[in-house]
């Protein structure tokens, strides 16, 4: 029937590009958010889960009744679990203990088996979620390890979808693409396509204070001294992902937990965009380089996921206070909403 879909997976891709108005007031140029939360799994990771799994099916790697294994900070796991349900696969996920309970609850609700691993250990530690997922895949017959950090199909999925969508939505007028990098697939996959269309488009990567990516981009050195705990999920790394194509990145910007948290709340209160912590980080990065934009700039910010997965984090006053992000520093970004019980 017209206007209907055969399953939830047919809703993946073709997410909207929405103008930013109040949060970029006073900045030169036009600014747009690529709202990846409009994917059915509420994040950009739907794209890679569907592409990698269907690619493995075409190559004959995935057999009926297979188990799909992955390392995830939450969003990729949810997307893989969703695709697995529709396609009839089992799903096992190794998750960092930095991941908030609501994300883990999402994974369990989608039928995934979850292994919770310590976040602040080296990537080669047997307890790290990288090594745990790898071990489970090796020990599980008829399994596929997605390995999003080193799987080039991660990047290629965005070359095939996200990049062309942005090019078409901006009618080829895009001048800057700004995005947070964890695996790096979203930003650099889209960038590979856009650079082919126009090599003058500037690609801005966003990294977290406590991550090694910016220094590696600047110097070619992986410096362990850069690694420190931080709170932004899905941004930065303590290793260099093979899916991250540094050759298409023009500049890296570092952002920290506190301003990124405020910016996430600001997007909700000023733009009515209920988006995740990395979206706030992306906005902070854009503001840090606002003097590089002019009246002709068309800037696209990649907003990877939905704010519903951060209700006990950046949208929780108690969590904000626990991090030392005090009400006096919110500068009007606390919600004025109240709850009154009718008796």
Long-range (24+ apart) CB contacts under 8 A made by 310-314 are 310/100, 310/102, 310/264, 310/276, 310/277, 311/102, 312/100, 312/101, 312/102, 313/100, 313/231, 313/277, 314/261, 314/264, 314/265, 314/277, 314/280
Active-site annotation holder among 45, 100, 237, 313? 45
Nearest in space to 305 (alpha carbons), one of 157, 89, 131, 102? 102
Cα of first residue to Cα of last residue in the chain, in angstroms, is 49
CA 99 to chain centre: 13
CA 291 to chain centre: 26
Paired sense of beta strands 30-35 and 17-19, if any: antiparallel
Q: Answer yes or no: 100 catalytic.
A: no
Active-site positions read 45
């Amino acid at each position: 029937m017209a206007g209907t879909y055969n399953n939830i997976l047919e809703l993946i891709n073709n997410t909207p590009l929405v103008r930013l108005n109040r949060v970029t007031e006073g900045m030169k140029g036009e600014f747009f958010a690529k709202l990846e939360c409009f994917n059915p799994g509420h994040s950009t990771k739907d794209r890679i889960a569907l592409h990698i799994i269907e690619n493995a099916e075409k190559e004959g790697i995935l057999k009926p009744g297979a188990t799909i294994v992955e390392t995830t900070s939450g969003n990729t796991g949810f997307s893989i679990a969703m695709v697995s349900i529709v396609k009839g696969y089992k799903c096992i996920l190794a998750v960092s203990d930095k991941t908030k309970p609501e994300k883990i609850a999402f994974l369990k609700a989608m039928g995934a088996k979850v292994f919770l691993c310590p976040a602040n250990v080296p990537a080669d530690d047997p307890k790290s979620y990288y090594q745990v997922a790898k071990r489970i895949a090796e020990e599980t017959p008829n399994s596929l390890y997605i390995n999003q950090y080193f799987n080039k199909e991660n990047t290629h999925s965005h070359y095939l979808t996200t990049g062309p969508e942005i090019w078409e939505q901006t009618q080829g007028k895009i001048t800057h693409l700004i995005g947070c990098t964890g695996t790096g697939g979203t930003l650099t996959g889209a960038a590979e396509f856009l650079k082919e269309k126009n090599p003058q488009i500037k690609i801005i990567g966003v990294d977290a204070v406590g991550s090694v990516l910016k220094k590696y981009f600047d110097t070619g050195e992986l410096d362990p001294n850069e690694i420190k705990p931080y709170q932004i999920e899905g941004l930065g790394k303590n290793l260099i992902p093979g899916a991250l194509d540094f050759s298409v990145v023009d500049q890296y910007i570092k952002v920290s937990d506190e301003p990124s948290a405020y910016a996430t709340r600001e997007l909700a209160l000023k733009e009515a965009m209920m988006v995740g912590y990395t979206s706030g980080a992306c906005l902070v990065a854009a503001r840090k380089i606002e003097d590089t934009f002019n009246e002709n700039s068309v800037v696209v910010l990649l907003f990877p996921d939905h704010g519903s997965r951060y209700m006990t984090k950046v949208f929780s006053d108690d969590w904000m206070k626990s991090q030392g992000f005090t009400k006096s520093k919110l500068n009007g970004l606390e919600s004025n909403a109240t709850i009154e019980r009718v008796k």
